[in-house]
Amino acid sequence: MTVYIENHMPTLKVSTIASYQQSLRVLVGAFGDKYLDEIRRGDVAEFEAEQSRRIGPSKVKHYRAALSGVFKMAVVREWIGDNPCLGQPPIKLPRWRQHFLTRAEWPRLYSRLAEPLRSVAAVSMSGGCASEKSSI
């Protein structure tokens, strides 16, 4: 994984590097005692199952992407034959539903907010209702 960090990281944005570094710390903690060619699909599945009991699916998916990137580079360099992250079942993320406030809901929400959230909400609603007169 060290070679991946040294070769791939300089091509990324600073925010992406910070996120990958955190992920790679977790991955090294989980797989650091193994060589890449010793990590099997079952190992990846076990790691993801363990992580899923502690963190959300979005972060597990992020860990898989980082680990897969390491394996992709190793396959390209012909250090290993295949990427054990490929062929894993997809990690399902919850579908978030957007909800827009009705005219009746806005005053109820606004009356229950404390400052500074009340001011932030008022500005947000007035900006979001540009085509209508705001009732604030």
DSSP states of 105-130: HHHHHHHHPPTTHHHHHHHHHHHHTT
pLDDT at 2: 62
Beta strands in 48-125 (DSSP E): none
Whether the per-residue pLDDT at 83 is higher than 80: the answer is yes
Q: Cα separation of 37 and 14, whole Å? A: 30
CA atoms within 13 A on the CB side of 22: 8
Note the pTM of the prediction, 2 decimals.
Answer: 0.62
Give the chain's domains with CATH numbers: 2-76 (1.10.150), 98-136 (no CATH)
Beta strands in the chain (DSSP E): none
Mean pLDDT of 105-130: 80
